[in-house]
A = this chain, B = another copy of it.
């Protein structure tokens, strides 16, 4: 049961949704279509391009929407999200694979810094191929590293300190002080280069290729919000975006920006991609940043996917399309569906509280009632409220 069609390529992955619309729709139809689909018009930021030979898209937008308050100055922040392909074949030595990605991504982070980025978030498991689909333990477990002392954190710490940035770096974590367990962890690095803390993926998929519980379990670090010089941020990793309660808890802890570093493929989820992180932005009056891996990754040993199809060597096409959504539901265009990209959004954090005041979702949320109801639902003798004809 493949959800959205078979794995066949349409040959249109080089075009984003926006390109397909912009190339074909006449004004004023295009404007109306974009309004219905994406909300308020967002201004384009004029950003430096990458140097020649670097095959990475750069897009920037000013999200707008906030009013100027009398008693609070605007809190303008530039948020960057990055999507990347792997660099070397998955058969190359682990160290080489990682170093090649490190080298490429360091360049992207440097460039984002030159664009004025204050906070950067990379994709889920960015310094490695998304090998969990194979269900093989080795060599893939060797990509796991310590969240504080590992080479990836070392690299990103240096960049954070150098550019006075906050960096969210999602890796495969090896927790040496707790039985060498693995975790799907986002490391949050402060402007001084020190690790502020980490978030561990709260909801682990157990479906088809996505048997990630083969490697790690549900996160045990709760729903921390990290209070940085550029706003209160949190991380909802990948599959957690399907869980409204996960999004909600970050809001209840005060998040203003929630990153959703992900790895998801075309036939599995593409039509849901534009919906979930954006709905979370609306429902919780915060900014969300949906970041997807990009490209197709080929593994040496064929594996099956629990869907009746023959064994194959790749997990499907990661469709990129990373985007940022504002608390009022307005969103940016997406990054490429096939190539590396950096997306920068200039946002005013004040919009979060303004939208709470405007729409009143938090005020009208009746949390007491739901706390009481959920407490009953999880009891073994729970009886659903059903009225029969």
Contact mask for chain A residues 370-384; partner B; CB cutoff 8 A; 1 contact, 0 none? 110111011000001
Contact A225 B36, beta carbon cutoff 8 Å: no
Given the known inter-chain contacts A20-B32, A239-B364, A367-B378, please indicate yes or no for A247 contacting B244, CB distance below 8 A: yes
Contact mask for chain A residues 21-44; partner B; CB cutoff 8 A; 1 contact, 0 none? 100111011011101111110000
Q: Which of B15, B366, B370, B385 contacts A224 (CB 8 A)?
A: B385
Contact A384 B218, beta carbon cutoff 8 Å: no
Contacts of A270 in B (CB 8 A): 35-36
Tell me the smallest distance from the CB of A308 to a CB of chain B, in Å.
Answer: 11
Tell me the smallest distance from the CB of A251 to a CB of chain B, in Å.
Answer: 10
Contact A242 B359, beta carbon cutoff 8 Å: yes
Q: Which of B12, B31, B248 contacts A245 (CB 8 A)?
A: B248
Contacts of A254 in B (CB 8 A): 384, 386
**CA A227 – CA B377 in complex, angstroms?**
19
A328 on the B face (CB < 8 A): yes
**CA A117 – CA B261 in complex, angstroms?**
43
Contacts of A328 in B (CB 8 A): 3-4
> A45-53, A79-87, A103-111, A195-203: which one contacts chain B?
A195-203
Contacts of A38 in B (CB 8 A): 271
Q: Which of B17, B28, B282, B384 contacts A12 (CB 8 A)?
A: B28
A135 on the B face (CB < 8 A): no
Q: Most chain-B CB neighbours within 10 Å: which of A38, A232, A371? A: A371
Given the known inter-chain contacts A366-B203, A377-B252, please indicate yes or no for A276 contacting B282, CB distance below 8 A: yes
Nearest B residue to A228 via CB reads B389
Nearest B residue to A13 via CB reads B32
> Which of A303-336 touch B at CB < 8 Å?
328-330
**Total identical chains:** 2
**CA A365 – CA B67 in complex, angstroms?**
37
**CA A136 – CA B279 in complex, angstroms?**
33
A139 on the B face (CB < 8 A): no
Contact B389 A226, beta carbon cutoff 8 Å: yes
Given the known inter-chain contacts A360-B207, A374-B374, please indicate yes or no for A366 contacting B218, CB distance below 8 A: yes
A243 on the B face (CB < 8 A): yes
Contact A190 B389, beta carbon cutoff 8 Å: yes
Contact A32 B4, beta carbon cutoff 8 Å: no
Contact A243 B283, beta carbon cutoff 8 Å: yes
Contacts of A58 in B (CB 8 A): none
Q: Which of B24, B207, B367 contacts A359 (CB 8 A)?
A: B207
Given the known inter-chain contacts A12-B28, A20-B32, A275-B275, please indicate yes or no for A227 contacting B364, CB distance below 8 A: no
**CA A272 – CA B283 in complex, angstroms?**
10
Q: Most chain-B CB neighbours within 10 Å: which of A17, A21, A370? A: A370
Contact A37 B384, beta carbon cutoff 8 Å: no
A36-B271, A245-B367 are known; give 19 further A-B pairs, CB within 8 A.
Answer: A3-B39, A3-B40, A5-B40, A10-B32, A21-B21, A24-B24, A35-B270, A190-B389, A205-B360, A224-B385, A225-B384, A225-B385, A226-B388, A228-B389, A242-B359, A249-B370, A254-B384, A371-B374, A374-B374
Residues of A whose CB lies within 8 Å of any CB of B are 1, 3-5, 10, 12, 15, 17, 20-21, 24-26, 28-29, 31-33, 35-40, 67, 166, 188, 190-192, 194, 196-197, 202-207, 218, 222-229, 232, 239, 242-245, 247-249, 252-254, 270-272, 274-276, 278-279, 282-283, 328-330, 354, 358-361, 363-368, 370-371, 373-375, 377-378, 384-389
6 A–B contacts from the bound complex (CB under 8 Å):
A36-B271, A39-B271, A206-B364, A245-B365, A245-B366, A271-B330
